[in-house]
């Protein structure tokens, strides 16, 4: 099932959109099944689960952290992480930069922007993001790779589309204002199992899909 789900998803999303298979709460055997199809990008929410899966699975997997990162845990993932989607404060960014400097590895990060009308979702306001970008020279071991956002969990497609559209506009605005000379800023991570089609229509370049591949989580 996992392999079939993956292959049909890949047929459905445009070739230029990257699919991150969100394997949180699913066993390593499920990841291996997806890996067998040639898939390499996997996303996890929690540092402990991510590190433990990293240690036991093949080393050519590209690991993505999607969930909230506590500052004191940055050091555990900095040595191997492919992309951190969930940077939501300047202090976290400073910590990642510090740990990255220690080992001489530049870390790819997305700034998570708050776009939903829900208390439970994290992220920076546009102003806070701009504030960080104005200081980006202070973080030489950070590669600003783009933005991430999560839409409101609602049946109302117009609401979801609007939130994605707003993030897409903001992404293009800061790309032009801050990254004219940096082609590394190119990822707009938006879209999950329930809303990835809308997200792609609104300019997503990376979708994070869990349940549509691995089934429901417990």
Ligand X SMILES: *Cc1c(COP(=O)(O)O)cnc(C)c1O
Shortest Cβ 140–ligand X spacing (Å): 27
CB closer to ligand X, 67 vs 166 = 67
Shortest Cβ 112–ligand X spacing (Å): 8
Binding site for ligand X (CB under 6 A): 22, 24, 45, 66-67, 150, 192-194, 208-212
- The bridge status of strand 41-44 relative to strand 18-22 is parallel
Shortest Cβ 197–ligand X spacing (Å): 12
CA distances from 50 to 9, 47, 95, 107, 174 (A): 24, 5, 19, 16, 30
Decide: residue 115, CB within 10 A, 0-12 exposed, 13-18 middle, 19+ buried: buried
CB closer to ligand X, 166 vs 194 = 194
d(CA 24, CA 158): 29
Shortest Cβ 22–ligand X spacing (Å): 4
CB closer to ligand X, 39 vs 178 = 39
CB closer to ligand X, 51 vs 179 = 51
């Amino acid at each position: 099932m996992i392999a079939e789900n993956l292959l049909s998803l890949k047929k459905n999303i445009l070739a230029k959109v990257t699919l991150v298979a969100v394997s949180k709460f699913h066993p390593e055997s499920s990841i291996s099944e997806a890996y067998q199809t040639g898939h390499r990008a996997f996303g996890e929410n929690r540092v402990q689960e991510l590190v433990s899966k990293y240690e036991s699975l093949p080393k050519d997997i590209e690991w993505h952290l999607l969930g909230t990162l506590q500052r004191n845990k940055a050091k555990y993932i900095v040595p191997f992480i492919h992309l951190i989607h969930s940077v939501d404060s300047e202090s976290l960014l400073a910590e990642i930069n510090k740990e990255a400097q220690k080992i001489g590895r530049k870390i790819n990060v997305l700034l998570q922007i708050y776009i939903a009308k829900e208390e439970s979702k994290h992220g920076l306001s546009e102003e806070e993001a701009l504030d960080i970008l104005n200081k980006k020279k202070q973080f030489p071991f950070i590669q600003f790779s783009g933005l991430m956002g999560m839409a409101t969990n609602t049946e109302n497609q117009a609401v979801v589309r609007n939130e994605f559209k707003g993030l897409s506009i903001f992404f293009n605005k800061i790309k032009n204002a801050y990254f004219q000379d940096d082609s590394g800023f190119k990822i707009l991570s938006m879209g999950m199992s329930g809303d990835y089609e809308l997200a792609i229509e609104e300019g997503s370049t990376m979708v994070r899909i869990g349940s549509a591949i691995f089934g429901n989580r417990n």
